[in-house]
Every structure is written in structure tokens, then in C-alpha cells.
Chain A
Amino acid sequence: MYDSGKIITGLIIFVVLFTFPFWYNIGSAAYKQPKLELPKDVKECVESKEFMRTEHMQLLNEWRDMVVREHIKDYKSKLTGKEVVMSLTKTCMKCHDNKAKFCDQCHNSLAVSPYCWDCHVAPKGEK
């Protein structure tokens, strides 16, 4: 084979560079959910904690379309069976009344920035 030395060195350099993200992260701590300030006087969210953790963005989109487009305003919780008014500020933020210590904690650590607050008013005039 011609130039096998150069080819193999090139391949090794390629493989090392290509897998850089994997071995660079070895040893660094896994992602931990930041500390959240949960509502004190209630025990349960609209749905189960696991559902809320993973699905709250879809749930909010659904609520928005229901209220604004479908003219339906109550949501029946699959967890508690209770009806709640579908509203970002009047429902979610009534319980989670400190956006900075709840929503933002997660979102900042994950570099997500929902644009909802361009219009919707957070409790206590936070931005």
C-alpha cells in the first residue's frame, strides 16, 4: 500500500477529533435539575409531576389553542379530575407565583427562553 503511514495517521486524527465531545465530557457531572421553589400550600400540579416536567410546553400550546381558537376554557385534570381554567397567568402563575425561582431556574440552566413573556405579564411585574 502506498502512503499507509499518512493515511492511518490521518484516520487516527479524524477519529480523535470526531469523538472529542464524548471523551471531553467524561468525568464532568451529569445534568442536575436546579433547585425549584414549589408552591407551599398545594401538593399537586395540574397533572403528575413527571408529565409536567416533560410535557408542560405541549400542554400550554394546547391550552392556548383551546382558549383562543376553540372557545373552550376549562381543562379537566387527568390526575385529580378537577376542572381548571386554561390560563398561563391566571392558573400556572397563580401557584407558581415566583417565575424567577421556578420556571426560569430550569429554563436558564437549559438555555431555553420561552417568548411568552414578551406579552404575558409575569406575577409582580418580573420580566
Chain B
Amino acid sequence: MRANRRKFLKIAGLATLGWSVFPNLLRASEGGEGAGHVRWGLAIDTKKLNDEVMEKAIVACHKNHNVPHIPDKREIKWLWKTTFHKAFPGQMLDNMHISEYAEKETLVLCNHCDNPPCVRVCPTKATFKRADGITMMDFHRCIGCRYCMAACPFGARSFNFYDPKKFLKSEEITTQFPTRTKGVVEKCLLCYERLDEGKKPYCVEAAEGVIYFGNLNDPESEIRKVLAERYAIKRKPELGTFPSVYYLI
């Protein structure tokens, strides 16, 4: 009996040691990311971004995904405009160059974080991480609990307070993408349906060179090259969500 207890304590000790040395093993089993994997990302060139480009990108995104235009606080947003000081709180003093244009507008969207808090809180796995880095939504599973909205530090998620079809003109509805229904949460899906066809996201296409898109894990990709050349920031890096959307400044 005594030998057994000794053995147990030894094994327990070793297990604790192992855990403290490789705590990351826990995370690795969750994600499935790593070398060789694709991780899609965006880099928005804020120097070239202007009102016309932003409008074009937003219209392309919203039109092709049946995102309704609701003119009050219960609006639905996949891609939208906000000012620098709202997008980058806490970084304004640190980055002299951006503090000079606090009121300038830029584009914001779901950051497709590498460590997404929305995924962690979703009770039905309606939002989950795809192997290529997209923070995906399965609308069939969304029960509208809005935990994800509380968890997202970027306000990237919108709740359907109304039936969105009421705000879409029937001749404008595209049959190529489903609409949503009252009571589900929605957000940008990085045009996963276009990526599967080998195309780039609508906003990237509409912005004509102002938004770079590519695989962040591939050092030879266009996006990695531009990130190597120019100074770029991300939104709220202090939170450790590791966004996949960069802002070239």
C-alpha cells in the first residue's frame, strides 16, 4: 500500500510539472493552427483609404450578403466606418502619426482573431474557428443568446432585432446568399464562400488595391510583403485576441 501511494504522488508530481512546462498543449489541441496552415488576413492601407473607396467596399459587402440597412441603433453591420480614436483607443498617444488625425475615418470589421473570445463563450458552437483562420458562423445553430456580442471587444457583431427581410427591397435581394432571420447574431465571414471558389473577398475587390488580402502564414504572400515594408497596427492588441486585420499607417 505504501509503495502505491509513493507511486501516485510521483506521477501526480510529474503530470503537474509537464503541464507547467507545456501549458500551450491545451491550446494547440483546440485550434489546429500551426506551420503550413493557411491563416487569412487583411491589411487596410489607411493612407490611400478615402470616403469613395470605403463606400464602395461597404456597398459591395452588404449588397452581396443581403445585409439590411436599418437606420437606427439596431442596425446590422458587417463592414463599417469609424474614426481612428474610436478604433484605436489607447494607441493614440503612443503613435504620434495617428494622433494627428484622430477624427479621420477608417474601415472596421470582424478581426477574425486568432484567439477569439466570441468562440469561447458560444454555448452552441454556432461560432467557431475554421482551420484557415476564419471566425465562422453557423446560422443554423445560433440561438440569439448574444454572449458573443458581449465578448467581442470590437463590436463586430449585430443582433437581428427585426426581420431583416423587411428592410431589404425584394428586387435587391440576391439569391446567392441566404438572408438571416429575427433573433440571430451576424457578422463578417471574410467571404468564405468566395475564398472556396478561389476569389478574394468583396471588399478587397471593390477597394482596388487599398486593402491587401492573403495568407499571413506564407512569407511570400503579398500581404506579408507589404507588412514587412510598412508600419502597421492592430486594434486593441493589449487584449491578446490577436486580430488578423492590420492597418497600414
Write the residues of chain B forming the contact surface with A, with a CB cutoff of 8 angstroms: 66, 128, 130-132, 136, 138-140, 170, 173-176, 178-181, 196
Chain A residue contacts of B174, Cβ below 8 A: 121
B140 touches A68 (CB 8 A): yes
A120 touches B178 (CB 8 A): yes
B179 touches A69 (CB 8 A): no
Taking a contact as CB atoms closer than 8 A, the residue among B138, B140, B176 that contacts A89 in the complex is B176
Question: What does DSSP make chain A's interface, helix, strand, loop or mixed?
Answer: helix
Q: Decide yes or no: A90 and B176 within 8 Å by CB, A64-B140, A69-B128, A71-B131 being known contacts.
A: yes
Interface size, chain A (Cβ < 8 Å): 15
Chain B residue contacts of A125, Cβ below 8 A: 170, 173
Write the residues of chain A forming the contact surface with B, with a CB cutoff of 8 angstroms: 64, 68-69, 71, 73, 89-90, 93, 118-123, 125
A69 touches B138 (CB 8 A): yes
Question: What does DSSP make chain B's interface, helix, strand, loop or mixed?
Answer: loop
Q: How far is the CA of A110 from the CA of B177 in the complex (A)?
A: 28
Taking a contact as CB atoms closer than 8 A, the residue among B139, B175, B181 that contacts A121 in the complex is B175
- Which of A69, A93, A121 has the most CB atoms of chain B within a 10 A radius of its CB? A121
B176 touches A71 (CB 8 A): no
What would 23 A/B residue contacts be, using CB atoms closer than 8 Å? A64-B140, A68-B136, A68-B140, A69-B136, A69-B138, A71-B130, A71-B131, A71-B132, A71-B196, A73-B196, A89-B175, A89-B176, A89-B178, A90-B176, A93-B175, A119-B178, A119-B179, A119-B181, A120-B178, A121-B173, A121-B175, A125-B170, A125-B173
Chain B residue contacts of A119, Cβ below 8 A: 139, 178-181
Closest chain A residue to B66 by CB distance?
A121
Supplied contacts A64-B140, A68-B138, A121-B173, 17 more A-B pairs, CB within 8 Å: A68-B136, A68-B140, A69-B136, A71-B130, A71-B132, A71-B196, A73-B196, A89-B176, A90-B176, A119-B180, A120-B178, A121-B175, A121-B178, A121-B179, A122-B175, A125-B170, A125-B173
